[in-house]
Amino acid sequence: MECNGCIYTAKQNGNLDIVIDAKIFKSYYHKFSDWGNIGHDKDSWPNTTYAKFFKINSIRVREN
């Protein structure tokens, strides 16, 4: 994931509900199975799985 650094930085700053730009988050796994990029709904898969992986409350992409 290209945005690992920004997620870890936000986490270190105490932000556990992360909103990022869709242009900077690209999953390395998007070509395998159903793994895709995160979406707008923090409560939908794969957002919930990414949140667990990064040990944060939630993650989603910014609304346009």
User: Each residue of 47-59: pLDDT tens digit?
Assistant: 999 899 999 999 9
Token reading at 30: 């998007």
Using CA atoms, how far apart are residues 12 and 29, in angstroms rounded to an integer?
25
| Residue, of 58 and 36, whose pLDDT is higher | 58
Q: What is the mean pLDDT of residues 6-25?
A: 88
| Residue, of 33 and 43, whose pLDDT is higher | 43
Identify the residue whose tokens are 């794969």. 46
Residues 6+ apart with CB under 8 A from 13: none
Q: What is the pTM of this model?
A: 0.77
Token reading at 55: 């040990």
The total number of structural domains that make up the chain: 1
Of 17, 25, 12, residue with least CA distance to 56: 17
Using CA atoms, how far apart are residues 7 and 46, in angstroms rounded to an integer?
16
Range of the domain at 18: 4-61
- What does the pLDDT read at residue 1? 43
